[in-house]
Structure 1
Amino acid sequence: MTNEKLNELLKPLVTDLGLEFVGIEFSPSRGSSLLRVIIDAPGRPVAIEDCERVSREISALLDVNDPIEGRYTLEVSSPGIDRPLFTLEHFTRFVGSEAKVNVALPIEGRHRFQGVIKAVEGDRIHLDQDGKDVVIAHANVVKAKLVPDYAALGIGAKGARNQDSGSRKRGSKHR
């Protein structure tokens, strides 16, 4: 099953529970695949109980629909301080924030960019990479996430290396 189909299946369930469906990361493998579902709680931190509740509901839904072939691990977590950016709406929401963006097709010979999200116009993301405007088509984005501002979070550079990302996880095995 494609990520798009999994998103379509899982988003309404998470939304019905009063939470924000941020997105999924699916890593298929021969032995045991990993399905990570990322949720957020509007106006408050994600609690372990949120992850547990979503995990139970998703487990039941996946058991009925059986969209994933073979064994897999389900993990439900908060976005953490290095929040992933999946949709154009995510990029728009975080205009002014710094992000790391990996692309499939190189832009000026590069696959990785880091800079401030300046704007989103149509399906194009404008990133300020060292004072230069880099325009990235959303369809070209392989992976994107916010870069935490450790100083604003009150975490020094030394603490940043040892600091947990703040995500809460609950895993359960299936099949």
Structure 2
Amino acid sequence: MGKKRRKERRAKAPALPLSNEIAEAIEAWAHEAAEVHELELYDVITSSAGGWSVQIFVDRPDAEPGTGVAVEECARVSRYIEALLDADERVPERYVLEVSSPGVERKLTRPAHYEKAIDREVELVVREQIDGQNKVVGRLTSFEDDTLTLEMDGATVSIPLSGVSRAKLTFDFSGAKQR
């Protein structure tokens, strides 16, 4: 079936929910696209609430803080993914695709993110207060057995990953360097 006919047929049908199967396929395509363009896949966020949305975050392997990917690199990855999405019958004609860097104050959501953040300053929102605070900032010194070890004001604190509700890197924008 030609692309025009397929688009006409798909335009008449309502958008289907984004299944786990297609979400996994999109993540595999994102890995492939990043690898082809000598980048590293950082994260993929998919949603079908209010229409399909695919956010892909790519980075340079072993990038130093503040030396993210160029807009042109994101555009190349976007075109690569777009071709794969358009060719797949399971994907509706209308979707939003965004490809970007995870940013200098990137969210930490996967174990690999924490491993790469060792020796960097992180901000954690914790479920149980530490010294009366739900938000703590410190240098991540290790991540082992799903436990984060932070150095905070000269003290060492261990926090189970299950006790963290949000985490991100911090960046000193005033000096344009990673804290």
TM-score bracket relative to the smaller structure? 0.5 to 0.7
Q: How many residues align?
A: 150
Match for residue 15 of structure 2?
none
Looking at structure 1, the residues matched to 88 and 134 of structure 2 have their Cα atoms a distance apart, in angstroms, of 36
TM-score normalised over the length of structure 2: 0.65
Q: Identify which of 136, 140, 146 aligns with 1:117.
A: 140
Q: Give, as a single letter, the amino acid of the residue that structure 2 aligns with 1:17.
A: H
Residues 73-105 of structure 1 show CA distances to partners (whole Å, capped at 9, x for unaligned) of 1111112221232332321222122223346xx
Looking at structure 2, the residues matched to 84 and 102 of structure 1 have their Cα atoms a distance apart, in angstroms, of 12
Match for residue 136 of structure 1?
160
Q: Give, as a single letter, the amino acid of the residue that structure 2 aligns with 1:58.
A: I
Match for residue 55 of structure 2?
36
Q: Give, as a single letter, the amino acid of the residue that structure 1 aligns with 2:45.
A: E
Q: Identify which of 55, 60, 74 aligns with 2:97.
A: 74
> For the structure 1 residues 68 and 108, does the alpha-carbon distance in structure 2 shift closer, same or farther, using more than 3 Å as the test?
farther
Q: Identify which of 83, 86, 102 aligns with 2:106.
A: 83
Quote the offset at 1:62 in angstroms: 1.9
Quote the offset at 1:124 in angstroms: 2.3
Consecutive unaligned residues of structure 2, counting only runs of 5 or more, are 1-18
Structure that is richer in strand per residue: 1
Q: Give, as a single letter, the amino acid of the residue that structure 2 aligns with 1:36.
A: Q
Higher alpha-carbon Rg? 2
Quote the offset at 1:140 in angstroms: 6.3
Task: Verify the 8 A CA contact 1:99 1:144 in the aligned structure 2.
Answer: yes
Residues 101-124 of structure 1 show CA distances to partners (whole Å, capped at 9, x for unaligned) of 346xx3359865443212111332
Looking at structure 1, the residues matched to 120 and 90 of structure 2 have their Cα atoms a distance apart, in angstroms, of 35
Residues 33-73 of structure 1 show CA distances to partners (whole Å, capped at 9, x for unaligned) of 43211111345541111111111111111223356678531
Consecutive unaligned residues of structure 1, counting only runs of 5 or more, are 155-175
Match for residue 7 of structure 2?
none
Looking at structure 2, the residues matched to 73 and 112 of structure 1 have their Cα atoms a distance apart, in angstroms, of 33
Task: Verify the 8 A CA contact 2:68 2:103 in the aligned structure 1.
Answer: no
3-state DSSP class of the match of 1:107?
strand
| Percent pairwise identity | 29
Task: Verify the 8 A CA contact 1:22 1:86 in the aligned structure 2.
Answer: no
Q: Give, as a single letter, the amino acid of the residue that structure 1 aligns with 2:128.
A: I
